[in-house]
RNA sequence: GCGGAAGUGGCGGAACUGGCAGACGCGCAGGCCUCAGGAGCCUGUGGGGGCAACCCCGUGGGGGUUCAAAUCCCUCCUUCCGCACCA
């Protein structure tokens, strides 16, 4: 028998498939289209086992779709802009372009070894001007619609990477840079933003897409919508001066005993009285310094200082002292709040510290009129609230909101935690922002006809942290497109999440030079039917790409508002020690080593077998041997029974003496084998549909174990041939190379991957004999084999006749008999 | 603190809509084959009791619903993830 030499046969078939362009997706093909997309990799230089874990099951699912009769688009590309390339330039003097392209070349080879059905002719590389020109084009479209704007704002700055970051890229309690883990600091800078907040409400709507609840929840929390009322507080002794506060509790407005402005609030200077000036300045200085240092201070005591002015409660005209305090953030709501200590824990802390009154205005059920021990946040009956006294707080909320709206005091309003997307990066290796600053004309967009604004190739990469573009005179100095005078280019580049916000559209027609993609071809392929990738992108990439698609819809470029109909998040593969893989821990698994020993098919199948795909889990080098053993068994089984004259010798016949298992007893006519074939097809089909690769492979293992048991009596017969054919077809999506080789060795016509997915006969998939569980009072007492179509009456009869059932009934009367057809009979006694 | 997910053998995990707990694989044990094996094949493998047929217990803890609970409800514990002064 031929040896299973995975390494050789995998290389052979990969070459053949590529030569035959087997994986080409054809635009406008009449078969139903299926756009299957897996997140493109960053070209770090080495294909990690984590890439395999994300991509190999995706490939299996895409291949399965194709066998199901779909015209499948399964593209790949590289997320090629980003900091590591620039850092390599600074440290080793290699140009980012060269570093990136060398890595891509290396990763292409590694990716090919996976045997995936990617269509390389559609490859997209985002650092190619052919690609990033469209980033600039989109930017201009957004600029024209007011969706891209420049503003001075306190922004997050990573001191190690020397660049600003989007809020989404600052993570954890320590507020560290998502890329390098350095704590970020705040800086006031003029930066470019994209107005994602304009779509906040739409982004909360997930109807029409099947995304995991997990991602949905993360996005909802991130957007952080809360409904409330924004109303005006006039300032005593300052006619015409007022500020607005946002509250989700207008029902508590009668309990306001102070008001707080954020220390950076623009009215602070104007309202501060001379006697308070020194304290206020000192506090502002302290607050500014503190926000510049780490903000670990959740436990920190709440403090503030009065500014000497008083706000007038619009409901009852009472005067409330105005404070500044750093627990109020300028970046949320209006940067000012009403202080209602009885009904807000933070306000209560503050009021206690400064001995402010704490009147109760919403009485908890059964309240005895005494001061509350802690802030009461729940609903109750309104008290001390003028004409609203006596209403339920729920009702009072609405009535006070109505009152404020009628009198022009305030309006109902939604507030969001979501901020606009800061896209400026003070780095070289990204898309130049196509803007020119002219001393006469101001901010001028680069005309579309002048695109792309290319990155200069001769930039210098110095370890100073200064952006190379800023120091590049040839790039920076330019002419104003409007007046022709001397002008300067914007030297910041775009966040690389811009690239990934629309790459799925570029794959549709990756070489179109006239537009981001061909709308005709787009109408055929779009949107993405299935997207797969890690959950770490939940509030970054996955939120941005939804936003981008809605903008594209509003630009008339696509006829839908959601980029990906279904999303699946795979888990994370861990090191053998159960820890996250890292070089420093020394637990990194190198896929290439396994590919070169046991083959890509084994690595693929093992990663799918390890557990549910969404779960991830530790790598186990013994576990992979088990899967390799399985493929070896498949190989031997197919060869042993297809190579003529090799079966039925005395050696294999020996097993027969032991006697078949009960379920296989009557398998001589091949019926039982047929049943196994069909039930396995059913199981694998259903499992692949839901990405349950682990149980699909387990079912195939059971099938093979069964086939080994019966092969001496079955091999050569028609049901056997069907079983072997089905087995190979069912394996094809997951282990494409061995399936192709076995398919060829069976004399079937090339290619196994162009065959239809086997269908099953529901009747055959159902067993002829089923195990009926017999219970007495809910305890299993016996199991009997019965024909599958048994009537309930007959089942009852058989149960009552059963010797063990009778024994355990112990002479008691039958109270009830529960029958679950084909499964169990439970005899309940009195 | 708020929000989410999850707790099943020595390990990874399986179990449709409440109906045989532990499929499949790893590991372990015994056997066969072999000059040899860390290769291959076969058998066994949740815990406890029994010579055995068999019996009892068992899905994080406690309680409940039900003829029947890993699955549904209540409660507590643990772990992981996200957000965190968001007014």
Q: Examine residue A625 and state whether it is found in any structural domain, yes or no.
A: no
Q: Are A63 and A753 in contact (CB under 8 A)?
A: yes
For residue A759, say whether its CB is under 7 Å from any atom of strand B.
Answer: no
Give the pLDDT confidence score for residue A67 in this predicted structure: 97
Interstrand relation of A769-776 and A617-618 (parallel, antiparallel or unpaired): unpaired
Closest-lying nucleotide for A633 based on CA to C1': B40
The gap between A590 CA and B9 C1' (Å) is: 31
For residue A779, say whether its CB is under 7 Å from any atom of strand B.
Answer: yes
Nucleotides of B under 7 A from a protein CB: 3-5, 12-16, 19-21, 23-27, 39-43, 55-56, 67-69, 82-87
Residue A819 token pair: 């029958």
Rounded Cα distance between A11 and A7, Å, is 6
For residue A653, say whether its CB is under 7 Å from any atom of strand B.
Answer: no
Q: Examine residue A153 and state whether it is found in any structural domain, yes or no.
A: yes
Specify whether A375 is located in the same domain as A297: yes
Residue nearest to nucleotide B39 (CA to C1'): A629
Q: Are A156 and A168 in contact (CB under 8 A)?
A: no
Identify the three-state secondary structure at position A659.
Answer: coil
Estimate to the nearest angstrom the gap between the alpha carbon of A271 and the chain centroid.
Answer: 47
The gap between A140 CA and B52 C1' (Å) is: 86
Residues of chain A (362-381) having a beta carbon less than 7 angstroms from strand B:
none
Give the pLDDT confidence score for residue A175 in this predicted structure: 80
Residues of chain A (116-145) having a beta carbon less than 7 angstroms from strand B:
none
What are the beta bridge partners of residue A787?
A769
Rounded Cα distance between A716 and A706, Å, is 16
Residue A644 token pair: 């003529």
Give the pLDDT confidence score for residue A647 in this predicted structure: 40
Q: Are A34 and A530 in contact (CB under 8 A)?
A: yes
Q: How many domains does chain A have?
A: 5
Estimate to the nearest angstrom the gap between the alpha carbon of A472 and the chain centroid.
Answer: 38
Specify whether A271 is located in the same domain as A254: yes
The gap between A464 CA and B80 C1' (Å) is: 40
The DSSP string of A243-297 is: EEEEES-GGGGGG--EEEE-TT-TTHHHH--GGGHHHHHHHHHHHHHHHHS---G
Q: Examine residue A353 and state whether it is found in any structural domain, yes or no.
A: yes
The CATH number of the domain holding residue A409 is 3.90.740.10
Identify the three-state secondary structure at position A188.
Answer: strand
Specify whether A390 is located in the same domain as A329: yes
User: Which of A594, A621, A647 marks a domain boundary?
Assistant: A594
**Range of the structural domain that residue A99 is part of:** 6-126+497-594
For residue A298, say whether its CB is under 7 Å from any atom of strand B.
Answer: yes
Specify whether A490 is located in the same domain as A501: no
The CATH number of the domain holding residue A797 is 3.10.20.590
The DSSP string of A69-111 is: T-EEE---EE---SHHHHHHHHHH---HHHHHHHHHHHHHHHH
Residues of chain A (507-566) having a beta carbon less than 7 angstroms from strand B:
539
Helix (H) or strand (E) holding A363: strand A362-363
Q: What are phi and psi of A700, to 5 degrees?
A: -65, -35
The gap between A383 CA and B42 C1' (Å) is: 83
Per-residue pLDDT reduced to its tens digit, A617-670: 889 888 999 999 999 999 999 988 776 443 433 333 333 323 333 333 444 578
Residue nearest to nucleotide B25 (CA to C1'): A626
Rounded Cα distance between A329 and A320, Å, is 20
Specify whether A736 is located in the same domain as A824: no
Q: Are A600 and A5 in contact (CB under 8 A)?
A: no
Give the pLDDT confidence score for residue A184 in this predicted structure: 85
**Residue count of chain A:** 830
The CATH number of the domain holding residue A511 is 3.40.50.620
For residue A773, say whether its CB is under 7 Å from any atom of strand B.
Answer: yes
Identify the three-state secondary structure at position A11.
Answer: helix
Give the pLDDT confidence score for residue A291 in this predicted structure: 61
Helical spans, DSSP H, in A537-587:
541-554
Specify whether A583 is located in the same domain as A444: no
Count the neighbouring beta carbons within 10 Å of the beta carbon of residue A177.
21
Helices A621-642 and A718-731, interaxial angle, to 10°?
140
Rounded Cα distance between A161 and A143, Å, is 27
pLDDT per 10-residue tile (average), chain A, 830 residues: 88 96 95 97 92 96 97 97 92 94 96 95 97 98 97 87 88 80 85 95 92 90 92 94 95 96 93 95 85 52 91 96 92 93 92 94 88 87 94 94 96 93 95 97 96 94 89 95 95 96 97 96 97 92 96 97 95 87 85 93 95 90 91 90 48 31 49 91 95 95 91 82 94 97 93 96 85 86 84 87 83 86 86
Q: Examine residue A624 and state whether it is found in any structural domain, yes or no.
A: no
The answer for residues whose C-beta is within 8 angstroms of residue A323's C-beta and 6 or more apart is: A258, A259, A260, A261, A304, A305, A306, A307, A339, A350, A354
ipTM for the whole complex: 0.94
For residue A572, say whether its CB is under 7 Å from any atom of strand B.
Answer: no
Residues of chain A (166-205) having a beta carbon less than 7 angstroms from strand B:
171-173
Per-residue pLDDT reduced to its tens digit, A723-775: 999 999 999 999 999 999 999 999 999 999 999 999 999 888 887 788 888 88
The gap between A104 CA and B75 C1' (Å) is: 56
Residues of chain A (257-276) having a beta carbon less than 7 angstroms from strand B:
262
Q: Examine residue A488 and state whether it is found in any structural domain, yes or no.
A: yes
For residue A824, say whether its CB is under 7 Å from any atom of strand B.
Answer: yes
Closest-lying nucleotide for A220 based on CA to C1': B3
Closest-lying nucleotide for A827 based on CA to C1': B67
Closest-lying nucleotide for A609 based on CA to C1': B25
The gap between A589 CA and B85 C1' (Å) is: 43
For residue A569, say whether its CB is under 7 Å from any atom of strand B.
Answer: no
| CA atoms A234, A236, A240, A243: torsion sign | negative
pLDDT, chain A, mean = 90
Q: Examine residue A621 and state whether it is found in any structural domain, yes or no.
A: no
Specify whether A385 is located in the same domain as A301: yes
Specify whether A674 is located in the same domain as A705: yes
Give the pLDDT confidence score for residue A299 in this predicted structure: 55
For residue A346, say whether its CB is under 7 Å from any atom of strand B.
Answer: yes
User: Which of A747, A765, A783 marks a domain boundary?
Assistant: A765
The CATH number of the domain holding residue A666 is 1.10.730.10
For residue A297, say whether its CB is under 7 Å from any atom of strand B.
Answer: yes
CA distances A227 to A74, A106, A418, A519, Å, are: 42, 52, 14, 39
For residue A417, say whether its CB is under 7 Å from any atom of strand B.
Answer: yes
The gap between A816 CA and B66 C1' (Å) is: 14
For residue A248, say whether its CB is under 7 Å from any atom of strand B.
Answer: yes
Specify whether A390 is located in the same domain as A247: yes
Of A347, A343, A322, A149, the C-alpha closest to A250 is A343
Specify whether A454 is located in the same domain as A582: no
Binding residues of A: 583
Q: What is the largest CA-CA distance in chain A?
A: 109
Q: Examine residue A455 and state whether it is found in any structural domain, yes or no.
A: yes
Residues of chain A (583-622) having a beta carbon less than 7 angstroms from strand B:
609-612, 615, 617-618, 620, 622
The gap between A680 CA and B40 C1' (Å) is: 26
Rounded Cα distance between A684 and A694, Å, is 10
Q: Examine residue A210 and state whether it is found in any structural domain, yes or no.
A: no
Binding residues of A for ATP: 583
For the sheet containing A477-479, what is the strand order?
A442-445, A435-438, A486-489, A477-479
Specify whether A798 is located in the same domain as A740: no
Residue A815 token pair: 């109270």
Residue nearest to nucleotide B20 (CA to C1'): A773
Residue A562 token pair: 């959601």
User: Which of A573, A594, A615 marks a domain boundary?
Assistant: A594
Specify whether A264 is located in the same domain as A374: yes
């Amino acid at each position: 028998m031929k040896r299973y030499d995975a390494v050789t046969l995998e290389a052979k078939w990969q070459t053949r498939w590529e030569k035959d362009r087997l994986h080409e997706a054809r635009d406008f093909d009449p078969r139903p289209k299926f756009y299957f997309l897996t997140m493109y990799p960053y070209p770090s230089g080495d294909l990690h086992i984590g890439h395999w874990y994300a991509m190999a099951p995706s490939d299996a699912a895409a291949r399965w779709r194709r066998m199901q009769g779909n015209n499948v688009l399964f593209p790949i590309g590289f997320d090629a802009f980003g900091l590591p390339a620039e850092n390599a330039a600074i440290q080793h003097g290699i140009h980012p372009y060269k570093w990136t392209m060398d890595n891509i070349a290396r990763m292409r080879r590694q990716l090919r070894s996976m045997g995936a059905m990617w269509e390389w002719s559609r490859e997209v590389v985002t650092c190619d001007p052919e690609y990033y020109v469209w980033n600039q084009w989109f930017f201009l479209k957004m600029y024209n619609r007011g969706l891209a704007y420049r503003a001075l704002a306190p922004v997050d700055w990573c001191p190690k990477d020397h660049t600003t970051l989007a809020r989404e890229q600052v993570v954890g309690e320590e507020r560290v840079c998502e890329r390098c883990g350095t704590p970020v600091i705040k800086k006031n800078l003029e930066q470019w933003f994209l107005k994602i907040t304009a779509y906040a409400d739409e982004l909360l709507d997930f109807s029409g897409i099947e995304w995991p609840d997990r991602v949905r929840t993360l996005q909802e929390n991130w957007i952080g919508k809360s409904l409330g009322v924004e109303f005006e507080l006039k300032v005593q002794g300052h006619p015409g001066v007022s500020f607005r506060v946002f509250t989700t509790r207008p029902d508590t407005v009668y309990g306001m005993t102070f008001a707080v402005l954020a220390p950076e609030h623009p009215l602070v200077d104007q309202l501060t009285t001379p006697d308070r000036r020194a304290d206020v300045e000192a506090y502002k200085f302290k607050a500014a310094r503190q926000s510049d240092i780490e903000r670990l201070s959740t436990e920190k005591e709440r403090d503030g200082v009065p500014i000497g002015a008083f706000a007038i409660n619009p409901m009852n005209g009472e005067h409330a002292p105005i404070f500044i305090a750093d627990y109020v953030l300028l970046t949320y709501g209006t940067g000012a709040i009403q202080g209602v200590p009885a009904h807000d824990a933070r306000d209560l802390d503050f009021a206690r510290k400064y001995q402010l009154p704490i009147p109760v205005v919403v009485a908890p059920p059964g309240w005895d009129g005494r001061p509350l021990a802690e802030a009461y946040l729940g609903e109750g009956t309104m008290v001390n609230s003028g004409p609203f006294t006596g209403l339920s707080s729920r009702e009072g909320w609405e009535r006070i909101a109505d009152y404020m709206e009628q009198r022009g005091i305030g309006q109902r309003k939604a507030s969001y935690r979501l901020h606009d997307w800061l896209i400026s990066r003070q780095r070289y290796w990204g898309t130049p922002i196509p803007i020119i600053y002219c001393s006469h004309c101001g901010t001028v967009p680069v005309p579309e006809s002048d695109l792309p604004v290319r990155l200069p190739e001769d930039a210098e990469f110095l370890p100073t942290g200064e952006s190379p573009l800023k120091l590049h005179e040839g790039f920076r100095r330019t002419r104003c497109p409007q007046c022709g005078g001397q002008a300067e280019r914007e030297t910041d580049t775009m966040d690389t999440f811009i690239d990934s916000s629309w790459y799925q559209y570029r794959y549709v027609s990756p070489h179109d030079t006239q537009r981001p993609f061909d709308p005709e071809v787009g109408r055929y392929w779009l949107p993405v039917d299935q997207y797969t990738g890690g959950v770490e992108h939940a509030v970054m990439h996955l939120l941005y790409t939804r936003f981008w698609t809605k903008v594209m819809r509003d630009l008339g470029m696509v006829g839908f508002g959601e980029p990906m109909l279904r999303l699946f998040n795979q888990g994370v593969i861990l090191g053998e020690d159960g820890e996250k893989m890292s070089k420093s821990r020394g637990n990194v698994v190198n896929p290439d080593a396994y590919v070169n020993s046991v083959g890509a098919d084994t690595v693929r199948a093992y990663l799918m077998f390890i557990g549910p795909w969404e779960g991830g889990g530790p790598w186990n080098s013994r576990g992979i041997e088990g899967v390799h053993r399985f493929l070896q068994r498949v190989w031997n089984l197919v060869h042993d029974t297809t190579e003529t004259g090799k079966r039925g010798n005395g050696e294999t016949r020996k097993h027969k003496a032991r006697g078949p298992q009960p379920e296989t007893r009557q398998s001589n006519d091949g019926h039982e084998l047929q049943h196994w074939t069909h039930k396995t097809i059913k199981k694998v089909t259903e499992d692949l549909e839901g990405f349950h690769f682990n149980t699909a492979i387990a079912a195939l293992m059971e099938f093979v174990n069964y086939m080994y048991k019966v092969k001496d009596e079955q091999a050569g017969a028609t049901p056997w041939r069907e079983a072997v054919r089905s087995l190979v077809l069912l394996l094809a999506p997951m282990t494409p190379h061995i399936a192709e080789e076995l398919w060829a060795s069976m004399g079937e016509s090339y290619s196994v991957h162009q065959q239809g997915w086997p269908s099953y006969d529901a009747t055959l998939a159902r067993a002829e004999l089923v195990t009926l569980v017999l219970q007495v009072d809910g305890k299993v007492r016996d199991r009997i084999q019965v024909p599958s179509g048994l009537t309930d009456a007959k089942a009852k009869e058989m149960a009552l006749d059963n010797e063990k059932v009778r024994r355990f009934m112990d002479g008691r009367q039958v109270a009830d008999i529960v029958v679950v057809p084909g499964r169990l009979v439970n005899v309940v006694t009195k």
